[in-house]
Amino acid sequence: RFQIHLDGTHTHHLTQSSAHKWMSSINDVVDGFLTRMTTSASRFHLWAKDRPLPEEILKEERTLIDNILGKDSSKGVSLVKTWGRCQTIIGKGNYGTVRLIASQDPCIPSTRLYAVKEFRKRRSESIQSYVRRLTPEYVTALHLHHPHVVQVFDLLPLNDKSLLYCQVMEYCDGSDLFHQISQIPSGLVAEEANCYFRQLISGVAYLHTMGVTHRDIKPENLLFTSKGCLKITDFGSSFCFRPKENARWVEYSRGLVGSEPYMAPEIFVEKEYDPRPIDIWSCAIVYMVMRTGSYIWYVAKKEDDECYSRYLRFQQRENAKARERLQRRAKLGRWDVLESLEDGPKGLIYHMLNTDPSKRMTSQQVLKDSWLESIECCQ
């Protein structure tokens, strides 16, 4: 899975998780069984065969979505016509299912694999609400082009009559970071975690230069190729803090967004906040999870998490008059949640986990950190 060579370089050999392979095998068996069934009354609804919508409602929905995306509704494009039929399930989530599709690439004389993420309309959901949930992620991701960001290619209906919209994306054949960490309870070796961390920071720094914050950085949203190239995915929670190109002002975001163990403390207490520092905080937590195999706290709220409360007491030591006394107490009380780290990453992670977002390092500052620049990165 990870190999360090005598010259100090390394290589990754990653594969999809066994759960994905098992799910794919079961899906193939079930699909084959259902195909052999001849009576329509006993057939289940397949992924590609949703219940039909009334024609006027379907037309209204298609027109509304196409207008937002700048597409011509009269052309009648669909996933099946443009990219082909999907088969293998490679993931599932609250949003729906992700499947694999093999499509002919017009640029090269061979087929290419893509991932297709479904967006299924909820039963009680209005067309307007569905469109608001469907289009922002695609519109944001479509304009992002970076080695460490999953490329998005298209958003279109499954077929002429389906209420299901599908987003076609780059396929990553090496599973996700959550799977990699779950295989090693004690955490990844330092060289492997460092390589992934540098790639992650590169991707996040690019997003910030494009005026986009992810707001849900976590291992489940970090995919890999089989050669260990990390790619950020799932922009459903993303936020454009610079709505206009070259704008000098930053638009603040609102509300509770993200996954609790990775959420910055200001999210819980501020009505509005700069979304860029929360990505930096999340990246630091991801690094600690990679190194330790566990969370350093469950939620960054002093009153709800004793581990985070100890961390706050440790950070306050820098401004205390009785610094030496507090340092001794910190060591005895194990307030330093980063004590297992080497000096290089420890100093950087502390700055990324500054509880004051105005003093937290920016993505560009993290990129220029001397320890980060010294990391042997294979990508």
Kindly report the CATH number assigned to the domain that includes residue 212. 1.10.510.10
Query: Any idea which residue has 């993420």 for tokens?
Result: 117
- What is the C-alpha separation between 337 and 353, in angstroms, rounded? 11
To the question of whether residue 359 is assigned a binding role by annotation, the answer is no
User: CA-CA distances (angstroms) from residue 329 to 57, 162, 302, 308, 317?
Assistant: 67, 64, 19, 16, 10
Query: Any idea which residue has 């290589």 for tokens?
Result: 11
Q: Are residues 187 and 165 in the same domain?
A: no
Spell out, as residue ranges, where the chain has pLDDT lower than 70.
17-54, 73-75, 93-95, 104-110, 243-247, 317-337
DSSP labels, 7-20: TS-EEE-----HHH
Residues whose CB falls within 8 Å of the CB of residue 138, separated by 6 or more in sequence, listed in order: 69, 152, 155, 167
Q: What is the pLDDT of residues 310-321, one digit of tens each?
A: 888 877 755 544
Domain that holds residue 239: 177-296+338-374
Which pLDDT belongs to residue 120? 81
The pTM (predicted TM-score) of the whole model is: 0.83
Q: Are residues 28 and 166 in the same domain?
A: yes
Which pLDDT belongs to residue 39? 40
Q: What is the SS3 assignment for 52?
A: coil
Helix (H) / strand (E) containing 282: helix 275-292
Active-site residue flag, 234? no
Judge contact between 245 and 104, C-beta under 8 A. no
User: Domain ends where: 170, 197, 220?
Assistant: 170
Q: Are residues 140 and 259 in the same domain?
A: no
Helix intervals (H) in 37-88: 55-69, 79-82
Name the active-site residue from 176, 216, 234, 279.
216
| CATH code, 85 | 3.30.200.20
User: Domain ends where: 138, 170, 202?
Assistant: 170
Which pLDDT belongs to residue 247? 61
Q: Are residues 166 and 184 in the same domain?
A: no
DSSP labels, 315-369: HGGGG-SSHHHHHHHHHHTT--TTTTS-HHHHHHHHHHT-SSTTTSPPHHHHHT-
Q: Are residues 196 and 225 in the same domain?
A: yes
Tally of domains within the chain: 2
User: Domain ends where: 170, 191, 219?
Assistant: 170
Q: Are residues 155 and 182 in the same domain?
A: no
